[in-house]
Structure 1
Amino acid sequence: MTEQRMPPATLDELAARLRARRIAAGSPSFGELAQRIGRARAARGVAPSSRLPGRVTVYDCFRDGRRRIDAELVADIVRALGGDDEELIRWRGWCAAVPHQSQSDAVVSSRLGMPTASSAFIGREEEVTLASRAGRVLIAGMGGAGKTRLAGRALARLREAGSLNGVLTVDVRGTETERPARPAALMEAIERALEVVGAGEALQERAAGISGALAQRRIGLLLDDVATAEQVRELLRRCRSMPVVVTSRRTLELPSYVKVIALAPWGEEEGLELLRDRIGVVRVDAEPDAAAEIVELTGGLPLAADLVAARIAERPGWTLADHAAAMRRRSAADRLDHAVEAAIDGSYQALSEGERQALRLLATQPCEDLSERQFAALLGASPEAAAAIAAGLVRSHCAGRPAEGRIGIHDLLRAFAAARSWDEDAQTMRDAAVRRLGEDLLEAAWSAAEALYAGSVARSRMPERTVVAVSGAEGSSWLRGELGRIVAVSRALAPWDPGFAVDLVEAVGRFVYEQTSLSFARAYFEEAVEAAEQVGDPAAAAVAHSFLGQTLVSAGDPGALEELELIRGYAHEAGMPRIDLSAMNDIGIVHGRAGDLARSRAMFLEVARIAEGIPSGDLARAVVSDNAAIVLHRMGDHEGAADEHRAVIQSAWASDGVPVPVIALAHANLADPLLALGDLDGAETAARESLALAEGRSQRVSLQASTALALARFARGDAVGALDVLRQVQGQEEHIADPAQRATLHIALGDVLLAVGDATDAVGHWERALDLASRASFTYEQARVMLRLARQAAVADAARARRLYESAVGLFAQSGGVEPAAAARELAAL
């Protein structure tokens, strides 16, 4: 049997095979495939209402990121591609055999800050020195061998030497899941922590953006509990300037530039040193034989030695011989490693009943660690009672402090305590604990969102919920740090409380949309849509679909328009005009990008008209009126566009319902038509006003305003000053999520570099802009770049220039606007 006949390992692999099958059949369009399927179903007698699949439904079968697949639709697609009965049987078998994508591999958590330890680090001096000098290093060893402690000590030494400002720890949790996290999930967690947005979708681009951010902030990277080499290969290859430490239970096959430290068990001297440190020299030296036996029974594993030492310290009335005898009696257990199981069981039995129950609940909730407030919510206890329990768990070394103010447990302890929970706790108890944790996260999420997006986040599902006042910076930091836990808890609750997932998405949806990658946002919002479908409530569906629709629009997805019409249907049914207006605005954006500027502008103006009659409609009216002015500028009416932008600004200031960042964006957009009119003073004033308003409120608007300011300087003839501003914007490019805005930046960089005589670098930036615009199907930006590349090629390669001009003319024809005439004239002249 050939490899291709083997079942695919993942749904992504299945989609890749389907794409290859379509190419082999001549690449028929998705619309054509839908028609073929409809005709075949009609011939089989399928009811008319079920015959014709949507073009986007067919397209979805070919894309990556699916979590489940419609096997019958896949079979119909293969039949439409010319497959015979034998091939259909094989494809049906593949669909049945392929594992459905568990989204446990989609989210990984991370935290900024030096790793903390509850006790002194013992021994391993040679390994610490080697790890701190290696740059990129893998620490491999069995569970409980002290890999994470060693990594933390090595990075702490670099911090003490002034080589680092801090450490970013990524909890990969490779030993806790059957499906290891994908490399993109690790990068997503790192990007959230470092506030890197818009680095692209390719792993190489994202790893390069992460490398730059780590170097700029002088932060080391700890990738803890990695399962496969593939998870970290690209990060290790790209992150060369700052230390990267990987821990794993496996000796991963990594490139030779990664130093491997195989962590062997402790010797007797290190075990005795730990005992002396934890329980005192006098007790150890008084019973040397018993102390040596205790060390031997811990199996040379620091985790086991720590647990035993903590238990000895808690029972000063016992002799070391008593403890050694108790350890021997427990040695029959074998569910985990012999020594570790015995140590954990002894420590567990020494806990109070409340502490044991807390440990079991901590082990069975889905997050890798919790804040003190979250821990109290999990237990349903007061902050004071939870703090006392946490202190007892930490004192016994059954839990640790992975960061200040947080509590977590080693994965071996988690496995032990989870097994005890299944024996001792009712499922209703575990469910109630996770529900309390979820409620706490939801409350904090709303506090963070309302601080970050003051006045512009609607709460349709739980309008009565109170929030705690925090600053915007605190809200942003909390969301970056807790998003992974939010998603984990949402998934844990989804099977029996899908409405909670919709509640959460309404709270964090805007942050996910603006501050995470498009692939992550799409996957998260698709999960919310699935949860909303289980709820069966049009209001829930409207909320979940609205965020998915925005993401599809930003990605230039061909299914965006169909999704937006679906949103409008749900919004009408649920009586949610705000979501309907938002979908109409996005429809206008889609039409504008497709080149139908008149239809786009008409849609924006219609939304503005409707918003006048809706309470709190000022925000929607300001946004769409500003969009309508942008379209007018593209249609060539620069004076009219400038007047409309000014009207937006004036009415927004007169309203209490329009957030300052929206006004800042209108000022930034005003600069464009003023530049086209030659009003350089006005353009520069608008850009500076936008910068002042956006400061501390919107990084994206600040960068757009800075680009406009640079273009105003360039128009004055100050190419050097313009280049300096654009380079500063480029240094923060990772904060720009919108591909069109990033493409505009690179177009501007190319224009200015050409003016200062660096044609090679200019072409490089234009090609980068073309790549960004092409991947998002933004034809207007593609056309602008093609025109510039054509002009540059005309100097030495007339044939290539002609092809580029023809492409530019065709793309301008698709996108509308006023520049096609210039491109056509230059093509004719060529």
Structure 2
Amino acid sequence: MWEQLVDLGPVASQPAPVYRVLGPLHVATGPDRVSRVPPGRQQVVLGALLLDANRVLSIDHLIDAVWDDAPPATARRQIQICVSALRANLASIGRDDAIVTRPPGYLLRVADGELDLHVFTALTAEAESLVLAGEQARGLALLRQALALWRGPALGGATVGRLAAKAAKLDEDRLAVLETSFDLELSAGGHRRLVGELSALVAQHPLRERLRSQLMLALYRSGRQAEALEVYRTARELLIDELGLEPGTELRRLESAILAGDPALAVGADAAPAPPTPRPAPAPPPVDTVVPLQLPADIGEFTGRDELVARVRGMLARGGRATSVVALVGKPGIGKTAVAVHVAHLLVDEEFPDGQLYCDLGGTREHPASPADVLGRFLRAMGIPGTSIPDAEDERAEMYRQLVARKRMLVVLDDAATEGQVRALLPGSSTCAVVVTSRTRLTGLPGVRVLEVEVLGHDEALFMLSTVIGADRVQAEPAAATALVRLVGSLPLALRIVAARLAARPGWSLAWMLERLSDERRRLDELAHGEMVVRASLSLTYDGLPVQVRRLLRLLGALDRLSFPTWVAAALLDVDLFEAADLLEALVDAQMLEVVAFDATGSPRYRFHDLIRLYAREQLERNEGEEQRRAATSRVVGGWLALAGEAHARVYGGDFTSLHGDAPRWLPPPSTVDTLLEDPLQWLESEHANLCAAVEMSAEQGLHEACWDLAVTLVTLFEARCYFADWERTHQQALAAVRVAGDSRGEAALLCSLASLHLSWSRARAARELVEPALRTFEALGDDRGVALARRNLALVHHRLGDLDNATPLYLAALDGFRGSGDPVGQAWVLAQIAQIELENGHQERAAERLYEALDICRRVGNQRVEVQVRYRLSDLMVRQGRHWEAEEELTEMLSTVRASGDTVGEARVLHKLAVVKIALADSAAAETLLREALEVRERAMDHGGAAETRAELAVVLADRGDRATAVGLLSRAISTFAERNMGAARLRAQQALERIRTG
């Protein structure tokens, strides 16, 4: 147990916070009693969790906090033991669920007012508002109240690396607030009582010029002019001796004003008004807020660039009235991305704790990323589901700026093509910062500071060479080393390649490498001009690779610039996984590939540098025939197709509700497949970009069968995660390919799938124009499953248009077709739709038979996705039959299911429906709670229409409970939203409810 001690708290007029980090780390165990957390791992872990309260901290983060860069082999286990001990101690004071396990680590729940740091932040923020409103006296009182929370250096002067840095930042915040309080007190005439306190602080912080200027002013106003000037002289001597600098402008002007007896220095003069209160670090976001962490890994061997790194850090860390934007520009291979990522990693923990967004904009590719697509990625990364993301680019940009407003986030935009590509991605908040890399100078961006990334200096280049091959080899041949650096023009990419080849051949001398470079035709000229610099250097490494490694490099050039797993190399060469892994590692050793991550099997994922990929593609076209290239591409696409098809089958309980072609598959070993697809939908999500690229690649290569098959198979992902733009794009690419090839079945499959997309968009008439020709084609080909799928979609078109007379026979025909083709999931889906029509017609018994038959099918094949849809309709049947207790039980189970699967939209709908059931059961309190939860979910997802519907329902509940004023406000807000979104029926219902409430 923790050591107990009495502590009356820093502020007697208000309850003391439970957790205290503004001084020694304490936890309150009862009224007027706190416990001191013992030094060691418990104190470090608890301190780290408190400084990031209500945020998930990874176990790796906690390991770094405890051991810095030298953790023991048992570090993860020790952290788990430490957290268990903290939980036990917190449970002993009634905080059983304070620490929550949440992948990839832990989260410490802290409510408002429980952490002194949060109280300090809130008080200083309120003080700032009061000062800006002209209420200096009240603002000063709040600042003094905030400062009274401090009991010494933050976390007791923590000495552990990362924690010490954060504690130092808090101490700096305290000093800034203290200085602001002095300004306010000086303006109020409190100069005499401040002289002693300011003198002590100046002695503690002798280089802090703002404190010295305040002391000078307090002394001058107290009639002690000579002492005020002595403070200045002491400061000047100290600054010159310590830093070689003259005092700043503020101190110099104040000295001149004192010497001149300037009347502006009198109390109440306007010459030196109190500055606005600086706001400390913002309070942490609420529990469950998504904090995106998208930065690529830092470069372990990053060397040099000290001046450039310092300049970029200063520009990004220094706040202002607008977003800080730094553009790093330079020629290919110069190291722009390396600098951007390295600086970002140096800043993220202290300056940008609310997250980092990263995107490769592909400015050097034929089709750079569009701002709309990048904004969609960023919004998803911040927790917005696909259904809530607008289609229009300007609306996405508005939502993006709203989400990052007042957050301290860093955005890294790599390889920008134009200013127009970047402009929509800039946050509107001064608390954020942006780093852009580009080959062109983006001077048209608002507020941008452009920095040119030059080649490495001679000493930096030699140091890089020494880091890779060893300082002893460089020192043994200094002249050859200098000549090598000069020969490659100190270009980082070229230098790393040459160094890697030397490192792989320890028997080679630097002179021998220099001779090989000198033998190349016009080498110096090529190394001095643009892209030829990289090509010549790459040739040196490429020529030294074994034959099979060179061939793998060439074939990998066919891939887009995405990361790829080991099995892709195995498919390209048609070899086993282990042989492919060895060949890939040879390319890594030669600096031709880089490892960027590890997949679910623990095997590395690889990525080309873009320039090396272009070089590999040149070699592919020069050395591989058309037939060889096509065969390799076919195997890779076949691998993606096989894995995607297996993932679909595992999600749906079998190969159901989908059509396939005759394209060949290339399947990795079964053990690899089982590990990769342990969570099939998550695998589809993680390989999303590669799968879409495979559709495009197969279309370009004329592999039309594989192209359309993969496109329709990926609907499993597109539908589940609302990737509607990718759904449409991949299908249009595949349509072009099948039409060129005259593949009528593939065209019909794609049209039928696109009809499903239009139905998801509530475009029933557009869907009909697609599905009718598809149905005719399937009928002509005698494709029974294709006919069933097309009839199902056509029936749904009529259903959505309100034409039940035509919908019902089409559903029944589709049901027979699915039965005949052995597709139980298709049967279950159609049964649920028929049941819905029968419910609408009042045939409850027949609807129940259909639903229970569908439910039995889903459970038999293990299809949870369709099962949830069936159960939702079943709950509707129960409500119509007055079986509210059963409906409540069903919906409660469904709520757990949709939450576990991350279905935000489903969660909101089930919460809403469950509230309706609670109303029928006369449990208005529970209904209110559920509706508030549903409203929170929908607001978090920015589902404005759904949120308005929930507000309208909540208003009725509150009115029945006597809170008519709140109900009127909710309904008025809902009606405005309905009007904005042309939701006529919902608006009418809300207006009628409002009228009933107003008339009693």
Say yes or no: TM over 0.5.
yes
Q: 1:353 to 1:460 in 2, by over 3 A?
A: closer
Q: Which moved more, 1:597-606 or 1:274-283?
A: 597-606
Distance verdict in 2 for CA 1:382–1:323, change over 3 Å: same
Change in Cα spacing, 1:651 to 1:523, as seen in structure 2 (3 Å) is closer
Identify if the C-alpha distance between structure 1 residues 554 and 767 changes in structure 2 by more than 3 Å, giving closer, same or farther. Answer: farther
In structure 1, distance between residues paired with 2:434 and 2:649: 36
Higher mean alpha-carbon deviation, 166-175 vs 429-438, is at 166-175
Kindly indicate whether the alpha-carbon contact (under 8 Å) linking 1:118 and 1:400 is maintained by their aligned counterparts in 2. Answer: no
Of the three residues 687, 712, 715, the one matched with 1:509 is 715
Match of 1:446 among 645, 662, 667: 645
Q: What's the secondary structure of 1:364's corresponding residue?
A: coil
Amino acid at match of 2:332: G
**Aligned pair in 2 of structure 1 residues 364, 321: CA closer, same or farther (>3 Å)?**
same
Larger Rg, first or second structure (1 or 2): 2
Q: Hey, what does 1:29 align to over in structure 2?
A: none
Q: CA–CA distance in 2 between the matches of 1:300 and 1:473?
A: 47
> What does 1:249-268 correspond to in 2, within 5 Å?
249-253=439-443, 255-256=445-446, 260-268=450-458
1:662 has 2:869 as partner: no
Pick which of 141-150 and 242-251 moved more.
Answer: 242-251
SS at match of 1:300: coil
Whether the aligned pair in 2 keeps the contact of 1:750 and 1:762 (CA below 8 Å) is: yes
Residue number among 560, 572, 581 corresponding to 1:366 in the alignment: 560
Q: 2:331 aligned with 1:124, yes or no?
A: no
Are 1:182 and 2:370 matched, yes or no?
yes
| Counterpart secondary structure, 1:139 | strand
Match in the other structure for 1:276: 466
Alignment of 1:617-636 (within 5 A): 617-633=823-839
Distance across 1 between alignment mates of 2:693 and 2:932: 43
Secondary structure at 2:785 match in 1: helix
Preserved CA contact (<8 Å) 1:233 1:254: no
- Per the alignment, do residues 562 and 462 of structure 1 end up closer, same or farther by CA in structure 2, a change over 3 Å counting? same
Q: Is 2:909 the counterpart of 1:704? A: yes
Kept after mapping to 1: 8 A contact 2:360/2:414: yes
Separation of aligned partners in 2, 1:631 and 1:216: 49
1:78 aligned residue = none
Alpha-carbon distance change, 464 to 352 in structure 1, aligned in 2, over 3 angstroms: closer
Q: Does residue 572 of the first structure (1) align with residue 779 of the second (2)?
A: yes
Counterpart selection for 1:749 from 941, 948, 951: 951
Alpha-carbon displacement from aligned partner over 1:94-134 (angstroms, at most 9, x marks no partner): xxxxxxxxxxxxxxxxx986524675111234544535637
- The 3-state SS of whatever aligns with 1:223 is strand
Give the alignment partner of residue 540 of structure 1, picking from 746, 767, 773: 746
Relative to structure 1, the CA distance from residue 603 to residue 212 in structure 2 (aligned partners, 3 Å threshold; closer, same or farther) is farther
Q: Is the 8 A contact 1:401 1:408 kept in 2?
A: yes
The match for 2:546 is 352
Given that 1:539 and 1:571 are in contact with CA atoms closer than 8 Å, whether structure 2 keeps it comes out as: yes
Which runs of 5 or more residues in structure 2 are unaligned?
1-291, 319-323, 599-603, 959-965
Instruction: Summarize deviations over 1:405-434 as a string: whole Å, max 9, x none.
Output: 122222222223322333332222222221
Measured after TM superposition, the shift of residue 501 of structure 1 is: 0.7
* Partner deviation per Cα, 1:130-157 (whole Å, 9 max, x = no partner): 3563776443322111122223323333
1:427 matched to 2:611: no
Asked if structure 2 preserves the Cα contact closer than 8 Å seen for 1:115 and 1:403, the reply is no
Tell me, in whole angstroms, the C-alpha distance in 2 between the residues paired with 1:449 and 1:244.
Answer: 39
Cα RMSD (Å) of the superposition?
4.0
Instruction: Give the letter aligned to residue 709 of structure 1.
Output: L
Partner of 1:122, secondary structure, is coil
**What secondary structure does 2:679 align onto?**
helix
Q: Is the 8 A contact 1:660 1:694 kept in 2?
A: no
Q: 1:288 to 1:232 in 2, by over 3 A?
A: same
Q: How far apart, CA to CA, are the structure 2 residues paired with 1:473 and 1:707? A: 32
AA aligned to 2:988 is: L
Letter in 2 for 1:461: G
Give the counterpart letter for 1:357 in structure 2.
R
Compared CA separation, residues 250 and 452, structure 1 to 2 (3 A)? farther
> Quick one: distance in 2 between partners of 1:216 and 1:511?
34
Partner of 1:139: 328
Contact 2:328 2:438 in 1 (8 A): yes
Equivalent runs, 1:147-162 vs 2, <5 Å: 147-158=336-347
CA contact (8 A) 2:868 2:894 kept: yes
2:979 & 2:436 partners in 1: Cα distance? 36
Q: How does 1:4-83 map to 2 (within 5 A)?
A: none
* Residue of structure 2 equivalent to 1:461: 661
Give how far 1:721 is off.
0.4
- Distance in 1 (alpha carbons) for counterparts of 2:592 and 2:854: 60
Number of the residue aligned with 1:653 = 856
C-alpha deviation, 1:549, in angstroms: 0.9
Distance 1:112 1:379 in 2: 35
Q: TM-score, normalised by structure 1?
A: 0.71
What SS does the aligned partner of 2:924 have? coil
Which of 299, 313, 316 aligns to 2:506? It is 316
Deviation (angstroms), 1:764 = 4.8
1:496 corresponds to: 702
Question: What secondary structure is seen at the aligned counterpart in 1 of 2:749?
Answer: helix
Partners in 2 of 1:190 and 1:537 — Cα distance? 37
Q: Does the C-alpha gap of structure 1 residues 294 and 438 become closer, same or farther in structure 2, counting only changes over 3 Å?
A: same
Gaps of 5+ in 1: 1-110, 737-741, 775-781, 798-825
- Aligned to 1:783, which of 984, 987, 991? 984
Aligned length: 669
Measured in 1, the distance between the counterparts of 2:910 and 2:630 equals: 49
Letter in 2 for 1:662: V
Contact kept, 8 Å, 1:451 with 1:469, in 2: the verdict is no
**Of 476, 487, 507, which aligns to 2:692?**
487
Aligned to 1:377: 571
Q: Percent identity?
A: 25
The separation in 2 between residues aligned to 1:685 and 1:399, in whole angstroms, is: 54
Tell me whether 1:591 sits opposite 2:798 in the alignment.
yes
- SS of residue paired to 2:328: strand
- How many Å apart are 1:787 and its aligned residue? 0.9
Residue of structure 2 equivalent to 1:411: 610
User: Which residue of 2 is the match for residue 723 of structure 1?
Assistant: 931
Whole-angstrom distance in 1 between the partners of 2:918 and 2:325:
44
Q: Distance in 2 between matches of 1:613 and 1:430?
A: 42
Equivalent residue, structure 2, for 1:474: 679
**Cα distance, 1:572–1:701 mapped onto 2, change above 3 Å:** farther
Distance 1:140 1:299 in 2: 18
Note closer, same or farther for the CA distance 1:606–1:408 as it changes in structure 2 (3 Å cut): closer
Does 2:732 correspond to 1:526? yes
Classify 1:490/1:518 alpha carbon distance in 2 versus 1 (closer, same or farther; 3 Å). Answer: closer
Amino acid of the residue matched to residue 730 of structure 1? R
Distance in 2 between residues matched to 1:219 and 1:276, nearest whole Å: 36
Q: Secondary structure at the match of 2:425?
A: helix
Quick check: 744-753 or 538-547, which moved more?
A: 744-753
In structure 1, what residue type is equivalent to 2:768? L
Distance 1:696 1:140 in 2: 45
Letter of the 1:370 counterpart: F
**Partners in 2 of 1:713 and 1:218 — Cα distance?**
41
In structure 2, do the counterparts of structure 1 residues 138 and 668 end up closer, same or farther at CA, with 3 Å as the change threshold?
Answer: farther
Structure 1 contact 139–260 (Cα < 8 Å) conserved: yes
Whole-Å separation in 2 of the counterparts to 1:160 and 1:171: 22
Q: Secondary structure at the match of 1:506?
A: helix
> SS state of the match for residue 690, structure 1?
helix
Range that drifts further, 136-145 or 241-250: 241-250
Distance in 2 of aligned mates of 1:216 and 1:605:
55
**TM-fit CA distance, 1:266:** 1.8
TM-score (norm 2): 0.60
C-alpha deviations, 1:274-300, integer Å up to 9, x for none? 112112222223333332332233323
Letter of the structure 2 residue corresponding to residue 369 of structure 1: S
Paired AA for residue 661 in structure 2: R
